[in-house]
Structure formats: C-alpha cells, structure tokens
Amino acid sequence: MFANFRLSLTWLHTWFGLVLGFVLMVAFFFGSMSVFDREIDRWSLPQTRIAAQPMPSFDQVLAARLAAMTAPDPDQLELAAGRVTQPLPARLKVTTWSAFTTHRDPVLDLFVGFKVPHSKVPDDQIFAEVTIDPRNGRVLPRDQLPLGSGFFYPMHFSLNITWHDIGYWIVGFAAMAMLAAIVSGIVMHRKIFREFFTFRPERNLLRSTLDLHNLTGVVALPFHFLWALSGLIIFAGIYFPVIDKMMHPLIEAHEREEATHTGLALGPSGRPGTLASVDAMMAAAKAHWASLSVPGEVGFLVVSHVGNSNAYVSIYRDSTDRVATAEGLHFDGTTGRVLFEDPPVGPVATVSGFLQGMHLQQFKHWTLRWLIFTGGLLSCVCIATGFIFFVEKRKRAHASAGHAGARWADALAVTTVTGMVVATLLVLVVNRALPEDLAQRDLWQKSAFWLAWLATLVHAAWRSTALREARMSKAWPEQCGAIALLAAAAVVLNAITTGDHLGRTLSAGYWPVAGVDLTLLVCAGVATVAARKLHRRARSCAVAAGSGAADLERESARA
Amino acid sequence: MATTTQSSWHVLSRVGAGILGSYLFTWGFIALGATSLLAAGLEFHEATDLVSMLGLLIFLTAFCYAFIAASLARVWLVLAGGGALMTLAGWWLSRSLA
C-alpha cells in the first residue's frame, strides 16, 4: 500500500493506534484500577471494612445459604430464554454450588449453577450469585455496588457492554491492535537502547511528547506486550471457539475418557444423594497441603451434581504462594473419601497458567502488585502521549487547511485521558455522597459515571474549537483541575461519611482504605501541578502562536 | 506521510484483509493445528491450549503481513484461502479422530 515496509507499519501504528487507542486507554486505566479492585471495594462498601476472612464452615454457614438460592439471577434467565428451543420450566435444576475467596477478601462470593434445558448451546448453565459476610452468612444487598470488582474490573475487559459480548470483542481487538502497535513501533524506532535514556522535556512539545512516548513504550515494553497477550489468552475461548464449534464430538470423547480415569462422574445418576460433611473434606484437604509443606487456605470450592448420588466436591487451594492456580482435590460427595487429586500440569498448561495467573494476580506479593499497577499506568502514559503527538504533529496543517481531524482527535483524547479519570473520581464521590440505604444505589452510581463521562466529552468538544487556530484546548487544564478537586473531595467525603479518615486508617494499619485515600491525594497533587502547568502553557501558546512554526515543522519532518 | 496515493477502497480492503482475513487464517490454523497435534498423540488440553496461544501470535503476524505485502490480491488469497483450506483440513482430520 505504501512505498516501503517501514511506511506501511507507520500507517498501521498511527491509525490503529489512534482509533483503538481510545479503547486501550479504558482497558489499561481500569486494568490498573482492577489491580486494587478488592481495596476499592472496601472503600466503596464501608460495611465490609473488616479483615480478610478464610472460607467459613460449609456445613454450618454455606450449605443453608446455597440451598436457599433456588432461582438464577433474572438478567441471566432473560438471556437464556433467547437460547432455548422450548420455553424454560418455572424451576430449573441445580447443577453446581460454588464459593470463591482470596487472601484479600473479607466477603465471600457464592454461586449456584442451573442447567438450561433445550438450549442451543451445549452444556448451557446460568447462575445465581450472592456475596455474603462469611462471619454470619448474612447476604450483602445486591444494589450495593462493589465499585472495584463490580464496575471497574468488568469495564477493564468488557467496557460493561454485555450485549452479545460485544464489549469483549472490542477490547480483544484493541489488545491485538496494541500488539501490532508494539511490533510496528519497534520497527519505526530502531534506536531502542538510546530511547531508553532519552527525555528532553525542555524541547518543544512535539519532541518531548515523542520522547516520553518512546521512553514509556520501551521501558515497559515486556509489560505492554505480555499483558495485552495474556489478556487475549484468558479469553481465547471467546475469540476463537474453534474446538467448541467444530469438534464437539472430540471434546465429548475426551471428557468421557477423562471421567473413567478420574472417577469424577460426568453427569448425575438417577438416584438422589445426601452430601457428607464438606467441613471434614476441607479439613482433609488442609491436612494434605500441610503434609506437602505448602500454605493452604481453601480458595475455591465446588460441589458438582448437587443432591445426587454422583455428587463430588472439588477443593482448590488459594494461590497466595504461586502465580498459576493450584491443582484441586476431589472428594466423593456421599462418602467424603478422596476420589482424585489433579496431577501436576503439562508444559503447555504450565505456560498458559503462568501467563493467565500473572495477569489475574491472585498471589500475595504487594511489591509485584504495585509494579503491575505502575506498568498499567505507564501503558496509559504511552497511549496518551501517542494521542498528543498525533494532534501536535497535525494541528497547524489542519488549522490552516480547515480540516477538523486534529480537533476531534484532541477532543476524544481529552475525553479518554482526563475525562475518564474525572468520571471515575466522580463515581467515588457519588458513592460516598448518596444515602447508604438508597434503593438501586448501584444504578445511581453507574448512571453518574456515564453521565459524567459524557459531560467531559461535551466539554472537550466545546473547548477543542481552539484547535481551529492551532491553539491548545483549555479542556486539558480544566479537566485536570476537576480531577484535583474530585480526588480531594472523595477523601474528605470518606472521612465525613464513615469516620475512617487517614489518621484512623493509618494508625490502625487498615491499608485497603488508607491506600485508596493516599492514592487519591497523590492523584490530586499531580493533577494540581498538571493543571497549573497546562494553564500557563495555554496562555503562552496564545501569545506566541505562530512564532515557533518553523521549528515545529523541522521537528515534524524528522519525527 | 509519504504514501503512494491509494483509493479509499484499497485501504478498506487492506483493513478488511487484516481483520477478517487474519481471523479466518487463525481459525484455520487452530483447527488444523489442534487436530494435527491430537493425531500426533498430544494430550487433549495440551494440544488445544498450545494452538490457542500460538493462534494469537499467528493473528498478529497475519495482521501485520496484510499491511506490508505488496499485492493485496495475494494477501486475500493467502489469508482467506489458506484459512478456508486449513479449516477444511482440520474438520476432515477431526472426523477421522472422533
């Protein structure tokens, strides 16, 4: 398409980077937030600000709670109704019970799986989900949104667009564009080693932006590549359901063979069964882990074929000490004896488990957690400077030719860089400002987020008229100012509404809330400095408009 | 940017080949790759996980190739044609394995 190899890849880098970059900003920013999703949950749900809890007694706490969950979540039921060839019966058959927790969770997620009969999808299952306080089994209200794991985390991989999984596909394609941008970026800039050490903030904006783009790109290169790739690997089954769609007989044959080998029944028998003490199985599992000298709390527990004589219970160790998820121990549901222990996984599963585990971070290692958070923010800086470079390089030419391209790129860049942070901080403020017992509190918070984000787009579009005269949009400093105010307001409101001010959380060493508050204060500080500098630049640009044009053109030609 | 002038149809076709062509090619790679590895005696999940992971790198390579290669017709032929052929071969092989 272009004169040569390098120019083709430059075109790819520029245009896919720009268009999918807006999605990548969302994925990387909310991915960074998700590194601390449980901590943000504690901040947003004050009634859960307690120490992390181990898996509670199944026999005394969980069994009754799970048995009370007799119907799937209404939204899942509605979706399932669209996949069946015959109307769904009033009551669906329960297939699985499960409970999941990590070393950072004071609350416990419970799931009940229901079989969807007459579905076009093989082995179709839908779920009921509740979050409980494991100390007493009390269910947390469903409309109390855990902002970290319930909103920021799904935003990271699906943009919270659930219609036909389209959000997964958009983010997946953006991740692929990220990989292509990395490959093409390396081809475009051959002097990788030099760029590692090059940042000239005193030079003109175009040059220093490009320096920072290259610097952040190169410094965190393995992070950018491996996180985009491992994210794709996690959802590879959604993106390429090749085996599932084309080779179902092969899967079934494999499952049958595996079941004869493991002794774990594939389906229920005709006879009902009574579940033996699961607490005794958990105790046996812990004793087994102790004998292997590995740390062992129960992280994940599944009862398959609930209420049937074929029932079995799978118990998995939490992954505090390792990257990939641990192997399971499977017990006969009626007798409680061990049926099967998962053998060590093969080489491919080891690599795949490591890449996915690295991305999902269930291990206990706070230094690594902060490094991964920093890596995500570096990706954001790399993408954001890419936008700024795109605009700076074109704004004069577009202004003189009357093109609106640079103007709209700038407006969208403002919306996805500062606007997204404004909306995120606003939802934190709204979370603390709304009455605790307000009905549909989750909906209010989500609506506030989307409206705030829309407002930043309108603001950015309005302010971007400055680009017509090749000047800087004032939306940048103004939204930085809003970030500073909102971040500080969130910290103050948290102190007022919960009494958990920094003095108290720090002296008590309650890091989930203290950490969020401190990060918000750092954010407020950085945004204040940025707003001041950008205001100054906006003023000086207005004065000196046109004087540096020759210098800029020379730099553009070289870039 | 110094480009040889190309119609917007050409650019669209490139982008289409980069996305749809690469998708088809990767689909074929996974289908044929998984069945070949299974036929060679690899454990089921080892085979499918391996080709799924490699498939993503194959997509990346095909995507870049679609923009680098000189002949657009050849890009479509290799990616879509090759993808269809591999899918067919994989399907045929899976029938003989089941």
Maximal C-alpha separation, chain A: 87
Q: Confirm whether B11 is domain-assigned.
A: no
Q: Do A1 and B63 touch (CB under 8 A)?
A: no
Helix (H, G, I), strand (E, B) or coil at B69: coil
Q: Confirm whether B25 is domain-assigned.
A: yes
pLDDT digit string (tens) for A102-153? Answer: 999 999 999 999 999 999 888 899 999 999 999 999 999 888 899 999 999 9
Both A385 and A405 in one domain: the answer is: yes
Angle at A491 between CA A504 and CA A362, to 5 degrees: 80
Mean pLDDT of B14-34: 97
pLDDT digit string (tens) for A532-546? Answer: 999 998 888 766 554
Q: How many domains does chain B have?
A: 1
CB atoms within 10 A of CB A126: 22
pLDDT digit string (tens) for A217-263? Answer: 999 999 999 999 999 999 999 999 999 899 888 999 999 999 998 99
pLDDT digit string (tens) for B82-98? Answer: 999 999 999 999 988 87
How many angstroms separate the CA atoms of A486 and A338, rounded?
A: 54
Q: Confirm whether A458 is domain-assigned.
A: yes
Both A373 and A491 in one domain: the answer is: yes
Q: Confirm whether B31 is domain-assigned.
A: yes
B13 touches chain A (CB under 8 A): no
Residues 179 through 198 of chain A touching chain B, CB cutoff 8 Å: 179-180, 183-184
B9 touches chain A (CB under 8 A): no
Give the minimum alpha-carbon distance from A242 to chain B in angstroms, rounded to a whole number. Answer: 6
B50 touches chain A (CB under 8 A): yes
pLDDT exceeds cutoff 90 at A353: yes
Identify the domain boundary among A360, A378, A393. A360
Instruction: Name the residue among A41, A40, A53, A45 with its Cα closest to residue A136.
Output: A53
Both A343 and A405 in one domain: the answer is: no
Show the domain range for A355. 50-156+257-360
Show the domain range for B91. 16-97
Q: Do A229 and B63 touch (CB under 8 A)?
A: no
Give the minimum alpha-carbon distance from B3 to chain A in angstroms, rounded to a whole number. Answer: 5
Q: Give residue A284's pLDDT band: very low, low, confident or very high (50, 70, 90).
A: very high
Both A277 and A132 in one domain: the answer is: yes
Both A417 and A323 in one domain: the answer is: no
Q: Confirm whether B45 is domain-assigned.
A: yes
Q: What is the pLDDT of residue A559?
A: 42
pLDDT digit string (tens) for A166-182? Answer: 999 999 999 999 999 99
Q: Do B94 and A250 touch (CB under 8 A)?
A: yes
Q: What is the pLDDT of residue A444?
A: 96
Q: Confirm whether A232 is domain-assigned.
A: no
Q: Do A351 and B30 touch (CB under 8 A)?
A: no
Both A292 and A378 in one domain: the answer is: no
Residues of chain A in contact with residue B68, where contact means CB-CB under 8 angstroms, are 5, 8-9
How many angstroms separate the CA atoms of B62 and A12, rounded?
A: 13
Q: Confirm whether B70 is domain-assigned.
A: yes
Identify the domain boundary among A360, A383, A411. A360
Q: Confirm whether B87 is domain-assigned.
A: yes
A202, two tokens: 């005193």
How many angstroms separate the CA atoms of A89 and A73, rounded?
A: 15
Q: Do B68 and A9 touch (CB under 8 A)?
A: yes
Instruction: Name the residue among A435, A432, A417, A326 with its Cα closest to residue A377.
Output: A417
Residues of chain B in contact with residue A242, where contact means CB-CB under 8 angstroms, are 27, 30-31, 34, 90
How many angstroms separate the CA atoms of A131 and A47, rounded?
A: 13
CB atoms within 10 A of CB A140: 16
B90 touches chain A (CB under 8 A): yes
Both A279 and A406 in one domain: the answer is: no
Q: How many domains does chain A have?
A: 2
pLDDT digit string (tens) for A483-528? Answer: 999 999 999 999 999 999 999 999 999 999 999 999 999 999 999 9
Q: Confirm whether A229 is domain-assigned.
A: no
Q: Confirm whether A205 is domain-assigned.
A: no
Q: Confirm whether A186 is domain-assigned.
A: no
How many angstroms separate the CA atoms of A385 and A559, rounded?
A: 14
Q: Do B56 and A176 touch (CB under 8 A)?
A: yes
Nearest beta carbon to residue A229 from set B19, B46, B56: B56
Q: Do A229 and B4 touch (CB under 8 A)?
A: no
Residue A250: closest C-alpha in chain B: B98
Nearest beta carbon to residue B2 from set A1, A7, A240: A7
Q: Do A236 and B34 touch (CB under 8 A)?
A: no
pLDDT digit string (tens) for A60-107? Answer: 999 999 999 999 999 899 989 988 999 999 899 999 999 999 999 999
Q: Confirm whether B47 is domain-assigned.
A: yes
Q: What is the pLDDT of residue A196?
A: 67
Both A544 and A411 in one domain: the answer is: yes
Q: Confirm whether A386 is domain-assigned.
A: yes
Both A317 and A441 in one domain: the answer is: no
How many angstroms separate the CA atoms of A197 and A215, rounded?
A: 7
How many angstroms separate the CA atoms of A43 and A491, rounded?
A: 10
Both A340 and A394 in one domain: the answer is: no
Identify the domain boundary among A327, A360, A393. A360
Averaged pLDDT of chain A: 91
Residue-wise burial string across B59-75, b where 16 or more C-beta atoms lie within 10 A, e elsewhere: bbbbbbbbbbbeebeeb
Q: Confirm whether A350 is domain-assigned.
A: yes
Residue A98 vs residues A127, A365, A389: alpha-carbon distances, Å: 10, 26, 49
